[in-house]
Structure 1
Amino acid sequence: MSAKIYDYSKICDSVLLIDPKIRFAGVINDRGRLVAGGMKPNVEPLESEKDDEMIFMELALRVKMRKEFDKQLGVVNFAMASRERAIAISVLLNEDILYVVSEPDSDYCALPKKILEIVNS
């Protein structure tokens, strides 16, 4: 089975346009490195660049660990964390991860569905 080919930059740009409350849309590789996308222009980051690196590496590790249960539970469609200052959503793109961060008052029911529509189109 061949992997789907994604245009990471196009996906990130499209995701940023979904909702003005989205702050970040980037693709993280399986080693926790940002390979496409990033912060929306004119948005103040919530964390330092060094913290970003740690968040990305932790995300890559968490995604790898979730795969251990794919056989029993099926593959993960998306994962979401709701925090006081942000909502974070991750979606697998082959071996890479689309990581989206939005304001905490975003519509967390509609947002993942819209992101998946972009990824699957």
Structure 2
Amino acid sequence: MSGKIYDYSKICDTIKDADPKIRFAGVINERGRLVAGGMKPNVEPLESEKDDEMIFMELALRVKMRREFDKQLGTVNFALASRERALAISVPINEDILYVAAEPDSDYGALPKKILEIVNS
């Protein structure tokens, strides 16, 4: 997914509307800063704003590290983390990262596919 110009705000809004279990959809730049999107309205955050900053920076670093193996394994389509209180999905878009957090009982088989369809449409 490189070279194409994406409307990050539209992508985030479409993803937040795509599934009632999605809590957050945002785009993080390579420095770990939120550049578009955010929390779904009327949803209580699980972490503080300071924790968000740390999560975003760690995510940016993790995605950068995964790119080290693109030549051997191919590019990453998405990464998924199933946690006790949330399902986290990251999708590389050019040099940025789409980060989606959903309820832990979300369909982790269907949700990433739905997100990729929105990004690629």
Q: Match for residue 38 of structure 2?
A: 38
Count of aligned pairs between the two proteins: 120
Amino acid at match of 1:110: A
Query: By how many angstroms is 1:58 displaced?
Result: 0.1
Q: How does 1:60-71 map to 2 (within 5 A)?
A: 60-71=60-71
Runs of 4+ aligned structure 1 residues displaced above 2 Å come to none
Amino acid at match of 2:19: D
1:54 to 2:54 alignment: yes
Please give the TM-score of this superposition, normalised by the length of structure 2.
0.98
Paired with 1:93 and 1:69, the residues of 2 have a C-alpha distance of 17
SS of residue paired to 1:4: coil
Superposition CA RMSD, Å: 0.7
Amino acid at match of 1:100: V
Runs (5+) with no aligned partner, structure 1: none
Runs (5+) with no aligned partner, structure 2: none
Amino acid at match of 1:8: Y
Query: By how many angstroms is 1:17 displaced?
Result: 1.0
Q: Match for residue 73 of structure 1?
A: 73
SS of residue paired to 2:91: strand
Q: Match for residue 114 of structure 1?
A: 114
Query: By how many angstroms is 1:18 displaced?
Result: 1.2
* Deviations, residues 3-40 of structure 1 (Å, cap 9, x unaligned): 10000000000000111010000000000000000000
Paired with 1:79 and 1:110, the residues of 2 have a C-alpha distance of 13
State, as a whole percentage, how many aligned pairs show the same letter.
87
* Deviations, residues 36-69 of structure 1 (Å, cap 9, x unaligned): 0000000000000000000000000000000000
SS of residue paired to 2:26: strand
Please give the TM-score of this superposition, normalised by the length of structure 1.
0.98
